[in-house]
Amino acid sequence: HGTDVERQKFCQEVLLWKNLQHPNILPFLGLHSKESDPNDPLSILWSMFMVCEWMPKGTVLKYLKESPSAPINVLLLEISEGLRHLHSKAVLHGDLRGVKQILVDEEGHARLADFGLACYANATAKSSTHAGRTRWMAPELLEPGRHFQRTLATDVYAFSCVCYEVRRTLAYGNEQLM
């Protein structure tokens, strides 16, 4: 069984993700549950799983490695359109990176995924969790006291790192092809 904080994060991810419908965002299809513990009313939350559309081409970096003639500029545009949609809904992704969070569908279109660190943007957008991976983190997030303060600008910085990854077909900070 998870902690109350883990349950809260799960619920927050579901509530945010289910309202994000866009061609460049991984579709949320619903929840699936397995049998829960009848003696623990909260166990139903930990017997639930988020269900999404299958992305057969995997991550954007895997796709580019396997399909070197794929239209990189189109993929970057689609990633930016997905991020623009999030921001138009006042949602911060908080963990954008090409290694896991950007998938490619059957037709070769980019889809943003993994909304576990996503939150609503406001003047005091603060997370109780690590704000993504250091390599994709905006420099201001590395300052003491600001580590958890994500903004639209920190998402845009992470997008610039993704652009670098995708253009080079490398995981940002790695020297070898994925």
At 115-164, the pLDDT tens digits run: 988 888 874 444 444 445 566 666 566 666 655 677 888 899 889 989 98
Residues of the chain with pLDDT under 70: 1-2, 35-38, 40-47, 123-148, 170-178
- 166-171 long-range contacts (CB < 8 A, ≥24 apart) are 166/60, 166/61, 166/64, 166/72, 166/75, 166/76, 166/79, 166/98, 167/72, 167/76, 169/61, 169/64, 169/65, 169/68, 170/61, 171/61, 171/98, 171/99
Residue 123 has a pLDDT of 42
Residue 95 is a catalytic residue: yes
Residue 139 DSSP one-character state: G
The tokens for 66 are: 């396997």
Residue 178 has a pLDDT of 40
Domain boundaries along the sequence of the chain? 4-168
pTM of the shown model: 0.77
Indicate which residue of 4, 95, 105, 155 is catalytic: 95
User: Cα-atom radius of gyration of the chain, to the nearest Å?
Assistant: 17
Residue 131 has a pLDDT of 47
Give domain 4-168's CATH superfamily: Transferase(Phosphotransferase) domain 1 (1.10.510.10)
